[in-house]
Chains A and B, each alone.
Chain A
Amino acid sequence: MEIRLELLILFAACGLVTLIPRILPFLLMHGLTLPRLLTEWLSFIPICLLSALFFQNLLLAQSDDYPTLSSLHLAASVPTILVALTSKSLSFTVITGVLSMALIRFFL
């Protein structure tokens, strides 16, 4: 088992550029009263970001064209969404998602 020095340096650099956007608002916004417009805008971030991340998982990027919908991911999402709605449990939702995807791949 080894750790290559150049990879250590690369990972440290990647870690640093990841760390900066993570901690900056915590260090700067401390004790600040934010303008109402900004807090209002920020209140929409969770829904918009989470839905964008979900939709991005359904779309397949194409070069120089609009993305296509992945029918595989769409198909696995249906039971997952249904279980999310009925169970309201994150654990069940994740298990259902993984099992659905495994089953769909098994039968395709």
Chain B
Amino acid sequence: MTSSFQAGVKACLPTVLGYLGIGFSAGIVGRAAGLSPLEIGLMSILIYAGAAQFIITSLLLLNSPFSAIILTTFIVNSRHLLMSMTLAPRVASRNRFDQFGIGALLTDESFAVAMNTSLKQQIDAKFMHGLNLTAYFSWIASTVLGALVGSWFPDPERFGLDFALTAMFIGLLYLQLESERSRVALNGILLVLVFLLLYIAMRYLSPELAVLFATMVAASIGVVISRWKSA
């Protein structure tokens, strides 16, 4: 184990708490929907995406056709394309195996942690593996744990666990804003824009597509404003 890998593990630790809260809830919800702990573990190993796993579980309960579940999963998880595109050029590795591994285990949280770290130092493949593997195993363990002891907690929402994800986004967003102080005014404008775009888009699109739409349009406006200001 190299120090870079360890640094990745360490950088992941604050988000582990969030994974535990959400994973635990996902396990409970999965169990309530009639999935076995093994099936829940398998879902975490093969899919490894929090929001999508909740949605898949609820669609299974509704007896949705598999084609619809697969399509929905694709839409919900297509935002990873944006994260991968953003992160890929910043990771210094020419090894195909490394690149595959880093991309395969990318999540909202590991992306945010990686971006945050990349502003302070060069991130390498070992750092990303430490970060991603810690998150991956925390997720699998917490969903299985939730599935195993879920019957003791019939209502995970009562303990506020469902808010762990929202709280994590708040923390990650703040850290990202903090690291981009050089364009604090522009980022302020973008936050308002994202909210308005999302609000309007959620009338016409699914929440997941609305997130994608608001992100892409706001980022484009960000480019226009920054070019116009520097012109």
Residue ranges of A at the interface with B (Cβ–Cβ < 8 Å):
1-4, 6-15, 17-19, 21-27, 29-32, 34, 37, 39-59, 61-62, 64-67, 73, 76-77, 80-81, 84-85, 88-91, 93-106
Contacts and interface: CB of A to CB of B under 8 A. Distances in A.
B150 interface: no
B160 A100 contact: yes
A35 B226 CA distance: 16
Binding site secondary structure of chain B: helix
Given A22-B80, A48-B222, A10 B94 contact: no
Given A31-B94, A61-B202, A98-B159, A8 B169 contact: no
Interface residues of B, number: 98
Contacts of A34: 89
A31 to B, nearest CB: 7
Interface string B122-145: 000000000000000000000000
B163 interface: yes
Nearest to B222: A44
Given A26-B84, A44-B218, A93-B167, 13 more contacts: A23-B99, A25-B85, A30-B99, A42-B86, A48-B194, A48-B216, A49-B108, A52-B194, A55-B194, A61-B207, A62-B203, A91-B14, A101-B162
B81 interface: yes
B160 A97 contact: yes
A16 to B, nearest CB: 9
Contact of A46 (B18, B42, B70, B112): B112
Nearest to B172: A50
Contacts of A14: 43, 46-47, 52, 56, 69-70, 73
A80 B46 contact: no
A89 B153 CA distance: 28
Contacts of B191: 47, 51
29 contacts: A9-B66, A10-B70, A13-B66, A14-B47, A14-B56, A15-B47, A15-B48, A18-B52, A21-B80, A22-B80, A22-B104, A27-B99, A29-B88, A30-B94, A40-B226, A46-B115, A48-B222, A55-B195, A55-B214, A66-B203, A67-B202, A77-B170, A90-B17, A90-B175, A91-B13, A91-B14, A94-B171, A98-B159, A100-B163
B82 interface: yes
B149 interface: no
A86 to B, nearest CB: 10
A40 B43 contact: no
A90 to B, nearest CB: 3
Nearest to A2: B36
Nearest to B111: A46
Contacts of B28: none
